[in-house]
Structure 1
Amino acid sequence: MSHTAHIPSHRKPRRNAPKTALRAGVAGGVLSTIAVAGAAGPAQAEPVTQTIEMPTITAGLSTAVAASAQATQQVAQDLQTQAQEDAAATTAAKTAKKAKAEAVRKAEAKKKAEAAAKAKAEAAAQRASRSAVRTTLSATSGSTAVASTASSSSSSATGSAASVIAFVKAQVGDAYVSGGTGPNSWDCSGLVQAAFRSVGVDLPRVSQAQSTAGTQVSLSNLQPGDILYWGGAGSAYHVGVYVGGGEFVGAQNSSTGVVQRPLSYDPPSGAVRVL
């Protein structure tokens, strides 16, 4: 007997061979699968490479988009700033125009107020002066003397005197304007000068000179066409024309204009005869 005959494994039947072959086949299949996977590896590497490159593309695009957004925002800000500047300029122009119009309105109102105040002051001065003259006349001769004088000098005018009277009566109702010489507005001396010029007689322009332009006559001997004056001879502040019937015509003031009134309305200081 062999010295190894007692080891059973050395004597096992060959029916175990198929298992060994099966194991070998399984191992081979596994190796084949690995080999196939290894062979397939290169085909799948391309998507991996593309995936790695994507972040670079996305980063560049994001930068471009961000730059575009920033530029758009800057343009919007510029447009908004321009719009605000335009609106401010428009508002400033409107404000300046309104302020100018208001300044012009105030200047015109001030000018009118000053003119009205001046006219009022002149009228007040005239009334005061006439009042003083009336007081003096009343103290010396009385108003009855003036009335009787008017009655005694009511004879009808003829010739040049009639023309002078017709001229001044035709202007009754015209406006009084300081410095006015017609044809629709007058001051007292301007009316008297124009009336006598209509009959070819040239008189001085102002009341003071007109009060000494002819022969002095008393108020008790008045004739139609005589020049009446208020104040002193050579310093008169007002003149008119005696039209007969105890009445006179004169450009009184801005409130009354040219009027025809009785001598008692505003008794004169004296008279001169030119015709």
Structure 2
Amino acid sequence: MSHTAHIPSHRKPRRSASKLALRAGVAGGVLGTIAVAGAAGPANAEPVTETIEMPTLGSLDVGTNLASAVAASAETSQQEALDQSLQSLEQKALEKAAKDAKKAKAEADRKAEAERAEKARLKAEKERQEAEEAAERASRSEERTQLSTTSSSGSSGSSDDGGSSSSDGGSSASDSGSRTQAPSGSAASIVDFARAQVGDSYVTGGTGPNSWDCSGLVQAAYRAAGIDLPRISYQQSSMGSSVSLGDLQPGDILYWGSRSGSYHVAIYVGGGKYVGAQNSSTGVVERSLDWDPPSGAVRIL
């Protein structure tokens, strides 16, 4: 009986895919037949052959697929890096836009607050001026009422044979200008200076040259004639001697209130008119005595 010798299979360690593909490519398409003769059998023993069929591998396809995979991986990595860069740029743009919007809002709020403050200031200034004018009108009305009461009580005690007609001593203030001559000398200087300031603005404490208060204008007009007067209205009305409103002359100082406590003064310019720095609404004006009759007058010239 013949003995068939079997050749044991000796397997080497598994190689990497790339090396295997290379080897398979070299041997691709080749069908190898390995014949192994048993050396241990008798001489007349039939040789035993073992046929191994090697598979055919396409080395070109494997290499192409591997290169495609590597390229695809590289492209994916580049895309991810690009996406991250775009996300970073978008985040920075959003942060900058938010910062700019916050700054713009703060600036808008500041401007709005400044506008509100300015409106409030103008409103308060207007209310203050209106209050001053109302107080001035009320004070003058009270003074006129007191003067009227005093005049009525004084005239009630006159006798029939000693009384005089109203044409003798009771002429109105506006009539006094018809009996006065044109000013001359110092009076003319005072009147001319006062009239030259008509249209200037009224400012509390103003002493010129383009803005005045009542006593500042009177002081400057008399200074133009070389005469120094005190600065305050009640001090100016306390100077010189008292004169009747029916006997006024150009250059006389008119006052409102009491002589020692006047709150407003002006200059009589003749023709039943006066020039004075009235208030912040009217400024320096020339008005008829009937528009706001004064309480009294003093003469310094």
Instruction: Provide TM-score, normalisation by structure 2.
Output: 0.68
- Of 31, 38, 45, the match for 2:31: 38
Amino acid across the alignment from 2:221? A
Q: Deviations over 1:171-191 (max 9, x none)?
A: 223332333322333221121
- What CA distance in whole angstroms lies between the structure 2 residues aligned with 1:148 and 1:88? 75
- What CA distance in whole angstroms lies between the structure 2 residues aligned with 1:127 and 1:194? 25
**How far off is 1:274 after superposition?**
2.1
- What CA distance in whole angstroms lies between the structure 2 residues aligned with 1:228 and 1:37? 139
Find the residue that maps to 1:162 and give its secondary structure: helix
Find the residue that maps to 1:179 and give its secondary structure: coil
Find the residue that maps to 2:172 and give its secondary structure: helix
**How far off is 1:197 after superposition?**
1.3
Q: Deviations over 1:50-81 (max 9, x none)?
A: 65666665555444333322211111111111
Equivalenced residue count is 238
CA gap 1:37/1:80 in 2 versus in 1, 3 angstroms: closer
The answer on 1:91 being equivalent to 2:101 is yes
Preserved CA contact (<8 Å) 2:172 2:246: no
- What CA distance in whole angstroms lies between the structure 2 residues aligned with 1:196 and 1:239? 13
- Of 117, 121, 136, the match for 2:127: 117
Which ranges of structure 2 fall in alignment gaps of 5 or more residues? 1-28, 34-53, 153-165
Alignment of 1:203-218 (within 5 A): 203-218=229-244
Structure number with the bigger relative contact order (C-alpha 8 A, sep ≥ 6) is 1
- Of 151, 172, 177, the match for 2:198: 172
Structure of higher CA gyration radius: 1
- What CA distance in whole angstroms lies between the structure 2 residues aligned with 1:207 and 1:60? 104
Which ranges of structure 1 fall in alignment gaps of 5 or more residues? 1-35
- What CA distance in whole angstroms lies between the structure 2 residues aligned with 1:60 and 1:37? 30
Amino acid across the alignment from 1:112? L
- What CA distance in whole angstroms lies between the structure 2 residues aligned with 1:208 and 1:181? 17
- What CA distance in whole angstroms lies between the structure 2 residues aligned with 1:150 and 1:201? 28
- Of 196, 199, 215, the match for 2:225: 199
Mean CA deviation greater in 185-194 or 216-225: 216-225
Residue in 2 aligned with 1:65? Answer: 75
- What CA distance in whole angstroms lies between the structure 1 residues aligned with 2:276 and 2:184? 20
Find the residue that maps to 2:258 and give its secondary structure: coil
- What CA distance in whole angstroms lies between the structure 2 residues aligned with 1:209 and 1:46? 132
Residue in 2 aligned with 1:266? Answer: 292
CA gap 1:147/1:37 in 2 versus in 1, 3 angstroms: closer
Residue in 2 aligned with 1:76? Answer: 86
- What CA distance in whole angstroms lies between the structure 2 residues aligned with 1:179 and 1:164? 20
- Of 103, 116, 120, the match for 1:106: 116
Residue in 2 aligned with 1:147? Answer: 172
Instruction: Provide TM-score, normalisation by structure 1.
Output: 0.74
**How far off is 1:214 after superposition?**
2.9
- What CA distance in whole angstroms lies between the structure 1 residues aligned with 2:142 and 2:171? 16
